[in-house]
Amino acid sequence: MSALELLTWARGPGLALALAAGLFGIVLRVFEIQALGRKGDLATARTITPGSGWRTILSRSLPPPGMFQRAPLTYAGGYVFHVGLAIAVFGFAPHIELIRGLFGVRWPGLPNLFVDAATVATIAAMLAVLAGRLMDPVKRLLSGFGDWLAWTLTFVPLLTGYAAFHHMSENYTLLLALHILSVELLLAFLPFTKLFHVVGLFMARWYNGDIAAKKGVAA
Amino acid sequence: MTATFERGINSFKEVLDAPIASFFASCVHCGLCAESCLFYTETGDPQYTPVHKLEPLRRTWFQEYTLLGKLAKAAGLSKSVTDAELAAWEPLVYDSCTMCGRCSMVCPVGNDLTYAIRKMREGMAAAGHAPEGLVTATTRAIVAGSPAGVKWVTVQAQIKHMEKQFGIEIPVNQAHVDYLVLMSSWEILNYPEYLGAVSRIFKQAGATWTLSEHAYEATNSGIQIGVSDLARELVGRIVKAAEDLEVKCVISPECGHAYTAIRWEGPNLMGRSFGFEVKHILEVIDELHASGRIKLKGTLDKPQTYHDPCQISRRGGVYEQPRKLLKEIAPQFREMKDTGTMNWCCGGGGGVGANERAEPLKLISFKRKKAQIEELGVDTLVTACANCRVTIEEALEHYHMDVEMLGLTELVADHLEENPS
């Protein structure tokens, strides 16, 4: 298979397969969670409460008082990575064009220089959090195959995208094909790794906020 | 029923619900929960990372309730939970967790890990992996009516003592009154002044109240050890007494887990709502003060701070009331840096105080509170939980700290206006 054939497959059947697998996986995982159900709470909830599930969905994006100082690398690395990734994925004009082609929605792209800088920052943040995971005893204890897989699945699309954008290989077609294929792997595996948190955290935060809110606490 | 490994695993399967599944499915292994847990911050030992304490429950969920987990188990890629593993986890689930809930406030994906620990203890106890101290306390609570073995005659002796000291009759088994007052073992044994304080406050407020010889103990070891059947039995005694006496409100004493047991878990354990209200004593005092039924005078003229009991503040929502009351009587009140719903635990809640094996770790974990007290430079610490009070008083003694502990209810009673107009 030539690079062009690979690119053609990645843009066509490969993308469709990846989207289907990702969507199926997300639906399955959400079903697995919700099928377990939740017992109703018979305790009388407080009528006046500063909290709610919806509030916690938003508020938990910020570190609670004092926590940033306790874990600056985790928080700073996390913010740079997540914001940078969002800029690279949703701010780059060719990505927007692809999304428009698939779903019919579009928005203005960001300047290439800005997206490029964000990508570099994201790659640097990923390397920093990887080093943190390797060195920090707590993170090492919690880490398993899934953690390294999730990191790799996220890192490779960034790296190949950056390399393709800068034409780091004479075979641009192959680089682009590898970039798209790596994104497709990410999409297909997302529901079955800890990357599922992009969906799961909305449920987790809501439950947490709801449990606390009934007691009059903003969690 | 005999505790067995199979019962434990079955219990794990039963307690797993959508919230816990969403927590496990969302964890990114960032380790931030460790930074919020005083057992980790004061020891630096990664095994005390809160989400790690849940590992056997997580694996049970993964293998039983996810397609990927079932496949991994069948392929031999995910090993089953063993009895030896549960035994190894016992100190993590009981000795190094007070169910204080601080990790639940910090987790960036929103996991309420405390909620999951409470459920996991059901399986640990069912498998026979609960600490001896807690098992003994729970047995005493069921057989003798109190985890500390306190009998009604002991309460009667304290009633007489308080009536003599304050000259106020303490009503017993009175029907159709406003309040049924409960006490914790520590209050009966160590701080009977609490009872005297309640009698003084209610006398000025003109409130009708009673103790019940059938339900005087609010401490619920069943909640702490994680056996809902026993917790239900203990709550049921209070519910029966409250309904027999037809009281309007049951007052949880200055005890954190007692409040959780009767206020938040009680109706769910009993499977029905109550026909009476349940309030913490601070809520009642604050209401009486706000409505002008009690008036305060005089001030505590020394620097002091308030230790938020976790179950009353973070897990109970009673954090404004103590501050409103202290504002009236303690002008030199100073807040700790991490306070209110982000307070640090005393280290003795969630059954840790009843677990002799956890004693050394409890004292190490107290270093967090010690640092908070020293940072403020206060010599008086007010709180509203008898268990926190005992834990802190013992630790203050251990660390040779010259700090006075006060119960807020007593403090309020000591500042009642004698002849309010």
The answer as to CATH 1.10.10.60 being correct for domain A3-37+65-200 is no
Query: B284 and B318 in one domain?
Result: no
**Of chain A residues 58-117, which have a CB less than 8 A from chain B?**
60-61, 63-67, 70-71, 74, 78
CB contact under 8 A, B263 and A43: yes
Q: Chain B residue with minimal CA distance to A151?
A: B28
Query: B161 and B82 in one domain?
Result: no
**Of chain B residues 271-330, which have a CB less than 8 A from chain A?**
271-273, 277, 314-319
Total of domains in chain B: 3
Query: B101 and B208 in one domain?
Result: no
Query: Cβ–Cβ contacts within 10 Å for residue B311, how many?
Result: 32
Q: pLDDT class for A219, splitting at 50, 70, 90?
A: very high
Boundary (domain end) residue, out of B100, B130, B160: B130
CA distance A122 to chain B (A): 17
- A211 at interface of B, judged by CB pairs closer than 8 A: yes
Boundary (domain end) residue, out of B130, B163, B192: B130
What are the φ/ψ torsions at residue B366 (nearest 5 degrees)? -65, -15
Residue ranges making up the domain that contains B257: 142-290
- B71 at interface of A, judged by CB pairs closer than 8 A: no
In DSSP terms, which residues pair with B252 in a beta bridge?
B280
Query: B367 and B282 in one domain?
Result: no
CB contact under 8 A, B31 and A43: no
Out of A32, A63, A194, whose CB is closest to B65?
A: A32
Task: Name chain A contacts of B35, Cβ cutoff 8 Å.
Answer: 67, 70-71
What is the value of ipTM here, to two decimals?
0.96
Q: What is the pLDDT of residues B285-316, one digit of tens each?
A: 999 999 999 999 988 889 999 999 999 999 99
Does residue B95 sit within a domain?
yes
Contact B209, B281 (CB under 8 A): no
Out of A42, A205, A209, whose CB is closest to B273?
A: A42
Does residue B420 sit within a domain?
no
Burial (0-12, 13-18, 19+ Cβ within 10 Å), A105: exposed
Q: Which two tokens stand for residue B398?
A: 């251990």
Position of tokens 């993590």?
Answer: B92
Query: B152 and B77 in one domain?
Result: no
CA distance A96 to chain B (A): 28
Contact B385, B312 (CB under 8 A): yes
CATH code: domain of residue B375: 3.40.50
CB contact under 8 A, A42 and B108: no
DSSP label at residue A44: P
Does residue B137 sit within a domain?
no
Distance (Å) of CA A189 to CA A20, A28, A122, B58: 11, 13, 21, 20
For residue A161, give the nearest of A94, A98, A106, A104 by alpha carbon: A94
Query: What pLDDT score was predicted for residue B420?
Result: 64
- B30 at interface of A, judged by CB pairs closer than 8 A: yes
Does residue B421 sit within a domain?
no
Query: What pLDDT score was predicted for residue A11?
Result: 95
**Regions of chain B where pLDDT drops below 70:** 1, 420-421
Contact B36, B102 (CB under 8 A): yes
Interatomic CA distance for residues B311 and B34, integer angstroms: 20
Say if residue A202's pLDDT is above 90.
yes
Tell me the whole-structure pTM to 2 decimals.
0.96
- Mean pLDDT within A63-68: 95
Query: Cβ–Cβ contacts within 10 Å for residue B235, how many?
Result: 25
CATH code: domain of residue B44: 1.10.1060
Query: B225 and B320 in one domain?
Result: no
CA distance B292 to chain A (A): 22
Query: Cβ–Cβ contacts within 10 Å for residue A19, how many?
Result: 14
- Mean pLDDT within A96-100: 96
- Mean pLDDT within A50-61: 97
Query: B161 and B104 in one domain?
Result: no
Find how far residue B102's CA is from the centre of its chain. 14
Q: What is the pLDDT of residues A172-199, one digit of tens each?
A: 999 999 999 999 999 999 999 999 999 9
Query: What pLDDT score was predicted for residue A12?
Result: 95
Q: What is the pLDDT of residues B130-163, one digit of tens each?
A: 999 999 999 988 988 888 888 999 999 999 999 9
CATH code: domain of residue B264: 1.20.1050
Out of A65, A138, A208, whose CB is closest to B34?
A: A138
Interatomic CA distance for residues B192 and B131, integer angstroms: 29
Q: What is the DSSP string of B217-242?
A: B---HHHHHT-HHHHHHHHHHHHHHH
Q: Which two tokens stand for residue B220?
A: 């619920």
**Of chain A residues 117-176, which have a CB less than 8 A from chain B?**
136-143, 147
Query: B200 and B232 in one domain?
Result: yes
Query: What pLDDT score was predicted for residue B418?
Result: 81
Boundary (domain end) residue, out of B290, B313, B341: B290
- B265 at interface of A, judged by CB pairs closer than 8 A: yes
Q: What is the pLDDT of residues A109-129, one digit of tens each?
A: 999 999 999 999 999 999 999
Q: What is the DSSP string of A59-96?
A: HTTSPPTTHHHH-HHHHHHHHHHHHHHHHHHHHSHHHH
Query: B326 and B221 in one domain?
Result: no
Contact A109, A93 (CB under 8 A): yes
Does residue B365 sit within a domain?
yes
Query: B15 and B105 in one domain?
Result: yes
Query: B209 and B124 in one domain?
Result: no
In DSSP terms, which residues pair with B26 in a beta bridge?
none
- B341 at interface of A, judged by CB pairs closer than 8 A: yes
- Mean pLDDT within A87-110: 96
DSSP H helices in B293-342: 320-329
